[in-house]
Chains A and B, each alone.
Chain A
Amino acid sequence: MNIVIPIKQVPETSNVKMDEETGTMKREGVESIINPLDLYAIETGIQLKEEYGGKITVITMGPPSADKALKEAIAMGCDDGILLSGREFAGSDTWATSYALSEAIREIGDFDLILAGERATDGDTGQVGPGIASWLDLTLSTYTSKVVDLNLVEDEEVNYTNVEQDSIIVERMVEDGYEKLELPLPALLTVVKEISFPRLPTLRGKQRSRKVEIPQWNLGNLDLNQEYLGLQGSPTRVVNIDHPKVTRGGTIIDVREDGKVEEAVSKLIDYLKAKELV
């Protein structure tokens, strides 16, 4: 059971400062972390590995410093890391990113399952996972909340179906409940938080991750169509960044101004009555 997990490094957003002129996030001095939902993909992968064996390769596209995210994943229990890094990838949108990642995964070759976080906290599109599935022509389950079972052909005890192919049975969240799917392997799952609870990296894991060499892949060692890469290869265009207008103004009845609580309360009651709310 070999698993590939594409992950993304995102800015840590609990204390974000915005540039008021451009409306974009100030990135200087902001720490980079593994996209929180990707941690759930990593945990799911490790649990599957613990049960069925095999190995896990994490892959990311980003600047050279993104190897830190790969090392963190390895410290949690993944085996190998691959870093897609080079100027040719800069400015890639979800289409170009999923193309580059899918080609790298094709190069890795021997895999049964791809696990990805449902979306990244910075882009918030949820498109890269399904994009990879599409480029590689894999079966796909988005919003996966549970791995029910693996149905391996050589494993006779667990054979639910007559499908002569390895498959995975999962539950995914849909608007009014859950949907159970059986997907022939290799497949791609994008996962939501319900699927697992990420473990913390251990000291031994950290020590191991420090020793793991992370190869850097780019145009030099991957057979990629350059026209599909980077800003020029990205069909997405940011035409304008707009801020939603606040259309509802609040009314504040300030006790400190009115002096008496009773008066403020009666003002509030009058207001609610006028709006026919009481």
Chain B
Amino acid sequence: MKKFLLTTSAAALALAASAGYAAARDQIQIVGSSTVFPFTTAVAEKLGQSGKIKTPVVESTGTGGGMKLFCQGVGENTADFTNASRAIKDSELKTCKANGVTPVEIKVGFDGIVLANSKAGTVVDLTKEQVFKALAKNVAVDGKVVPNPYKNWSDVDASLPATKIEVLGPPPTSGTRDAFVELVMDAACQEEVKAANEKGCGEIREDGAFVEAGENDNLIVQKLEANPNAFGIFGFSFLDQNADKLQGHKVDGVEPTFENIASGDYGVSRSLYVYAKKEHVGVIPGMQEFIAEYTSEGAWGPDGYLADKGLIPLPDAERAKWAEDAKALKGMGS
């Protein structure tokens, strides 16, 4: 028994020690947005299958968390790429610069945010104003700002069905929520609400009509199936993959389809980005191969495999420009 204890503790020590001298990293590490995660992982896997480099490791940490890890500094213990469902903020760029990191920005495509419900429910045609009225914490009624009084969709607008307002959406930590607030709530904000409180536009009601359903979009899909009167807010790729169960609603008269989001007609869409760490090119093997794979037509083009996964490609000219800049490793702010 004594011997057993001794050998196991020796093994434990040896293990701990060996970890200290980890060999130089030969595998790309990617962090960031959960929205871009399904696309980046597909690229990583493709690259790994080609046998050129080891398959990159992709973590889903959220856009903000990813930026923090990415801008931490230069070196083997920091991430090589970060995914973002919005452009890098000035404050984040400043942190990056201060830590000696030069990000190379690559805009990879669009993602639509859709309002959808079960196929068993009714299809409605919404405007951003109606969505704002249904979901804002405070709305203006007869020129006065009051807590949202609307219970049914028909209270918001007589043309809408007389069903209870029940919307499942992402929590405030999610990038989808940020984009939804920016593209719908801020865009259709009522003057009175804005005047009363500068940040009032982005506040979503907390009286039960809007349910925070967690980051897991699959969960929202399942809940919508069970309740045909509820609406859900999530990324287009989930509508695309669950087209047999869900239907998307028109916003401002435009249907959330692949074509409409790609052409920019659908108003609630955002750009997705990947940031590369310029300092790691040539140090961590495979950086350039990864950029080349991501920006190849076979991946992000209209017929590429990322389109099959639900990524909406950039227009041709824009793709060509971003691909060129990415391959030239054009750093930001340099």
The answer to whether A and B come from one shared complex is: no
